[in-house]
Amino acid sequence: MPSFCRHNRFAANCPICSREQAEAAGPRRTGVRSTGGHVTRKRPTTSATARSRATNNDLRVRRATRAADDGYRSPLVPGIRATADAERLAQELAFAAGRLATLAAAPAGLYAEVASEPDREEATWLAFLIAYLGPLEGDDPFAGVRAARTSWASGELPDLSDVPLGPRTSHEPARGTATLAAYRAWVERAGSQEAAFRGETAWRPERRFARVYERLAIQGLARDARYDLLNVLGQLGLYELRAGALQLGGSDETTVAAKRVFGIGDTLLLERRAQELADAAELPIGALDLALWNWSRPAALPRATMGLPADTEPDAGAYAGAADALGL
């Protein structure tokens, strides 16, 4: 049976892969041939140049762990080639979907406080701090946020020195409170947090999610924190927000995991394949955010439960839909 390459073509017909295979099979050259026909020798790279390039590009190398190829194939997840990886994805989809359902029906901890707080500005500020610092792993996931939090009305920025951070935190200690100050400036331009997150009254929830996500691109607030903040605000009922896409792009871990799962790098195709998987599994597209992030974690690390108790199990109904869609 013909197979597809990473460029979404038949492997035998792909000009890029065919050229790479021919070059790999041929003799190695020490130079690079130019279009004029002569060979240009590569300049030796000094250690100083290498250090400079690494510094300028802020290169990070991640070692992706995968189970051995056992013949598993699914058109929904063409990048997965092992049953164990597909099973783990189904489990993470079920957990993430269950978390969203719990936030909507019976939030706990500081999430419950966000949902019940009558002052919309204080509730939104607390939700922002949770998303920015990140829930911790362990018995008290909100200990860091609880220790650092300040009220919105006071105008005081939290003291973030030595604050414990969650696995999906967006906070970089070297930035201090710069991101929090940038958030307050963003809100000030809108007039209030409620005005900033509500946007235009005519927007549908999916449109509001996408537009606010785009507008909330302040320095120091990573994609994961932005996305989860809007997910949480929508599930808790503070604003009419509902994810209509994963908002993939860049080098964050969720986007990298999506490229591995869906076997392609093009952002538009990634979004399309993510939606196809969500539709087939009958899950909200917003559940794929945490699911892909957890799926990409090394097996030795525990699942990031993001505010739920550590012993929380994946949702059984969501797992059934995901497993059926993946052919497990």
Predicted local distance difference test score (pLDDT) of residue 164: 96
For position 4, what pLDDT does the model report? 56
Of the pLDDT bands very low, low, confident and very high (cuts 50, 70, 90), residue 279 is very high
Position 7 scores a pLDDT of 55
HSE of 84, CA atoms in CB hemisphere, 13 A: 7
DSSP assignment of 121-155: HHHHHHHHHHHHH-PPSSS-TTHHHHHH---TTT-
> Can you tell me the distance from the alpha carbon of 101 to that of 262, in angstroms, rounded to the nearest whole number?
25
Q: Is the pLDDT of residue 12 over 80?
A: no
The SS3 of residue 32 is strand
Question: pLDDT tens for residues 112-147?
Answer: 999 999 999 999 999 999 999 999 998 899 999 999
Mean pLDDT of all residues in 193-218: 97
Q: For position 211, what pLDDT does the model report?
A: 98
Q: Report pLDDT for 253.
A: 96
Record the pTM. Answer: 0.80
**Residue with more model confidence, 93 or 28:** 93
Determine how many CB atoms are found less than 10 A away from the CB of residue 161. Answer: 9
Between CA 246 and CA 255, with CA 249 as vertex, the angle to 5 degrees is: 70
CB 131 within 8 A of CB 326: no
Going by pLDDT thresholds of 50, 70 and 90, the confidence category of residue 51 is: very low
29 phi/psi in degrees, rounded to 5: -110, 150
pLDDT computed for residue 33 by the predictor: 36
Cα 32 versus chain centre, distance: 38
Report long-range pairs for 215-221 (Cβ below 8 Å, ≥24 apart). Answer: 215/186, 216/186, 218/179, 218/182, 218/183, 218/186, 219/178, 219/179, 219/182, 220/170, 220/171, 220/172, 220/175, 220/178, 220/179, 220/182, 221/132, 221/170, 221/179, 221/182, 221/183
Average pLDDT of every residue of the chain = 87
